[in-house]
Amino acid sequence: MISRKELLFQIILHVLVLLFFSFSRNTGGIVWYRAVFLLFYSISTVSITYYLMPRFLYKKKYWQFFFGVTLVVVSVILIEELVLEPIMFPDTERGRNFPGIYISLLSVLPVICILSGFKFGWDALQKQAQIDELKNAIEESELQFLRNQINPHFLFNNLNNLYSYALQESPKTPEIILEMSGVLRYMLYESKEQMVPLKKELEQLGNFIKLYKLQIEDRGEVLFDVDKIEGEYRIAPLILIVFIENAFKHSQSGQSSDIKINISVKVNNTTLEFVCSNNYVSGFSLDSVAKGIGLKNVRKRLELLYPKKHILQIEETENDYKVYLKLELEKV
């Protein structure tokens, strides 16, 4: 079933070809017999564009398509020379004689090629639009899947910590539960959009850091520095939180004192610069931490959401682990 857009496209195309093929500069009008031939060529081309192309060409049956087109062209020439011209030009040299295959092809092929070529181009554009739509749907599904992984990942890590505090009957257990519920509320309900306000994301980032600082207590220091942000920006939610979570895990897993975690966020024009560094005990393997689901997740999300618009560098020395992220923000 032909769509309205395609029907309008075909009408405009045929009008243009009619003017080009049938207009006479000598008379300043349409030559009637050329218009009749064009109508005949158009009807014949329909068998190529709406039957042979979808049935053979698009299914890569090239020999069948070539044979079908040859049959159509030969039929058009025979009907034109044996039927139409004797009727339209009776008792004339043109109506009685066959001008030859080359001359006939030169009058038939250009019109058929133009009409078929534009139809092929139209189909290619529609197919590309379908591919783009499918690609977007796949990317959106993949992003949603990656996003959904974050919540159970965060919940699993913090429930373990909460369990240990509950066993110790720590007075900070209720505060941890309160902070944890706030962060989860944001993850589950307020970060469903593909992009969220940067200030809102940084606010939740601060709450997340408070939650982990409760677990460090007096075993070290955590610095969270955010420059004053002028203007309104949007960022993909739950990107930065993964690096911060990894920093706390690095430090806490390998040492019980002198923990140092530094986090800074700057925005210059539309470029965000995020730096997160932490220390850890020399000899402690970071493989189980740095190569966990969180870091793989965030790398994939950055590739999907910020293609060629981000730089992610991770530096590891004997006692320090540093993440540098630079990405182009969406300005409101």
Q: Which of 109, 3, 110 is nearest to 50 (CA)?
A: 3
DSSP lists the bridge partners of residue 283 as none
Q: By the 8 A CB rule, do 80 and 37 touch?
A: yes
Q: Which of 125, 142, 94, 118 is nearest to 42 (CA)?
A: 118
For the stretch 264-277, pLDDT in tens is: 999 988 999 999 99
- Write down the pTM of the prediction: 0.57
Mean pLDDT of 22-50: 81
Higher pLDDT, 99 or 17: 17
**In this structure, are strands 220-226 and 259-268 parallel, antiparallel, or unpaired?**
parallel
| Cα three-residue angle 256-165-250, rounded to 5 degrees | 35
Mean pLDDT of 161-176: 76
* Residues 41, 240: Cα–Cα separation, whole Å: 63
Query: Distance of alpha carbon 283 from its chain centroid, rounded?
Result: 42
What confidence score (pLDDT) does residue 134 get? 67
* Residues 80, 68: Cα–Cα separation, whole Å: 18
Tokens of 5: 């857009």
The yes-or-no verdict on residue 288 having pLDDT over 60 is: no
* Residues 95, 115: Cα–Cα separation, whole Å: 27
* Residues 320, 54: Cα–Cα separation, whole Å: 61
Q: By the 8 A CB rule, do 209 and 262 touch?
A: no
In this structure, which amino acid lies at residue 281?
V
DSSP class per residue in 285-308: --HHHHTSHHHHHHHHHHHHHSTT
What confidence score (pLDDT) does residue 293 get? 52
In this structure, which amino acid lies at residue 282?
S
For the stretch 173-205, pLDDT in tens is: 787 787 777 777 777 766 677 788 999 889 888
Mean pLDDT of 104-128: 87
